[in-house]
Amino acid sequence: MTIKTSEKLKQEVNSFVGLALINIVFSAVAMALGISIIVPNITSIVTTQSALFPQIVLVVIGFLASAYSIKWLTSSAEMFEVSTELKEDYAKNKTLDEEAQTGLIVKMMSHYRKNKPTIKKMMWVSRIAGFCFLISGAFTIITAVINAATGVQLMDMWTQFLGAFINFAIAVAGFIIPYFFGKYTKIWDKRIEKNAEAEVEFRRQLGEE
């Protein structure tokens, strides 16, 4: 029973690490895309000494995307730090005894309760990231096929296929991680609910309610 519980805790912690990591990756990519929109348009405006309306719109979108990505990257990094701390606690003794298991569960519940809104958002961002990487992978495949038909070198084509494979792999992770993590959050919510009920009962027994 102890080993089984220990393995479940390991899966919960690993899924938390994965969720934080994919949010970091997506935030970094979104930030890079935002910067890639800002730089050429700003350069064009400065060079030509004139600004077209589409350029202004793109610059604003780029700044907003970059600002939000930086903010979310910071939040994701904080959650990654929390998740890796939990993973390190687990790694100290892979076959946790009951006392160590209880301590880890309490710590996980504390972090989850404190950061629940952010964690819920991370699950949605992970799904959005999965969809975006799926589209990117499909676009890369289409581009590779078109290039192959026009006689592009084989090495370039295989590089594109490799890029598509990486995109698809991240997309799958973006969908799978929040799916399984969602199951764990339901368990955590039940633990928190039971803990709250126990606290109410304890106060009632003390005559405080």
Query: How much is the average pLDDT of 132-144?
Result: 87
Q: pLDDT tens, 176-205?
A: 999 988 888 888 887 777 766 656 655 666
* Torsion, Cα of 9, 181, 200, 206 (10° steps): 20
* Torsion, Cα of 139, 145, 147, 150 (10° steps): -140
Its sign, for the CA torsion 144, 148, 149, 153, is: positive
Q: Is residue 17 within 8 Å of 84, Cβ to Cβ?
A: yes
Q: Which residues contact 44 (CB under 8 A, 6 or more apart)?
A: 55
List the chain domain ranges.
2-205
> Under DSSP, is residue 97 helix (H, G, I), strand (E, B) or coil?
coil
pTM to 2 decimals? 0.82
Encoded amino acid at 108, one letter: M
